[in-house]
Chains A and B, each alone.
Chain A
């Protein structure tokens, strides 16, 4: 059981706006920057958001936010290449560890 909770699956059509959520606690998401990673098939997880900051090269249709102990990744104008599994991650001071969510499989219909 992951320390961070994500939807198992989310789907959307091309051009749609979708939001993925990541729910944690005060000792992880509530205290630290959340990272979001995109993993396509068996490739290396690729950072797509740090808090609300876009890593270099990531299109600005990706945006991030946080409210209390829940972080969100929003993709506006969904594209076929966005189909992937997305993981959130945060440091957790209660276990002194980097924790990950179980991942959300995003399907582009």
Chain B
């Protein structure tokens, strides 16, 4: 059974760095064609893709947020960590991690975590 779970602070202050961890089970991020994306959804708005890390450790970032994002993975712990610097109120959103598995990593994510709501507030 494939599961993904996001964890991190519920509240961060403006200018702080957000660190989110996605802990997954039921698949390996070392396997060919397996990739993991981070996606966020501000309240009442559409999802926005943030970043992706692939089975071969290639990384891709949303160009508008690239300077603020860093992805890393720890395959021994089945975890992927996303860091986002200089948090602002507009970054308030539910943050999801989602898996892609298939012939190419640009396929739509097929499994999503339950999401974690992050509020930016002083």
Interchain CB contact under 8 A, A99 and B49: yes
Using a Cβ–Cβ cut-off of 8 Å, how many residues does chain A contribute to the interface with B? Answer: 27
Interface-side segment among A11-19, A43-51, A75-83: A43-51
Interface residues of A in 1-60 (CB under 8 A from B): 2, 32-35, 37, 42, 44-47, 50, 55
Interchain CB contact under 8 A, B60 and A96: yes
Alpha-carbon distance between A42 and B45 when the two chains are bound, in angstroms:
11
Chain A min CB distance to B42 (Å)? 12
Q: Which of A34, A44, A95, A97 sits near B114, CB closer than 8 Å?
A: A44
Write out, one digit per residue, whether chain A residues 69-103 have a CB within 8 A of any chain B CB (1) or not (0): 00000000000000000010111010111111111
Alpha-carbon distance between A55 and B101 when the two chains are bound, in angstroms:
13
Chain A min CB distance to B3 (Å)? 12
Interchain CB contact under 8 A, B110 and A44: no
Closest chain B residue to A51 by CB distance? B108
Question: For the side of the interface on B, what is the size category?
Answer: 20 to 34
Q: Which of B37, B113, B115 sits near A98, CB closer than 8 Å?
A: B37
Interface class of chain B by DSSP:
loop
Closest chain A residue to B63 by CB distance? A95
Chain B min CB distance to A37 (Å)? 8
Alpha-carbon distance between A45 and B94 when the two chains are bound, in angstroms:
11
Alpha-carbon distance between A103 and B44 when the two chains are bound, in angstroms:
10
Q: A97-B60, A98-B37, A98-B106 are in contact. Are A45 and B49 (CB under 8 A)?
A: no
Interchain CB contact under 8 A, A103 and B96: no
Alpha-carbon distance between A91 and B107 when the two chains are bound, in angstroms:
7
Chain B min CB distance to A55 (Å)? 7
Interchain CB contact under 8 A, B96 and A44: yes
Interchain CB contact under 8 A, A55 and B110: yes
B contact set with A: CB distance below 8 Å: 37, 39, 41, 46-49, 52, 60, 62-63, 94, 96, 106-110, 112-115
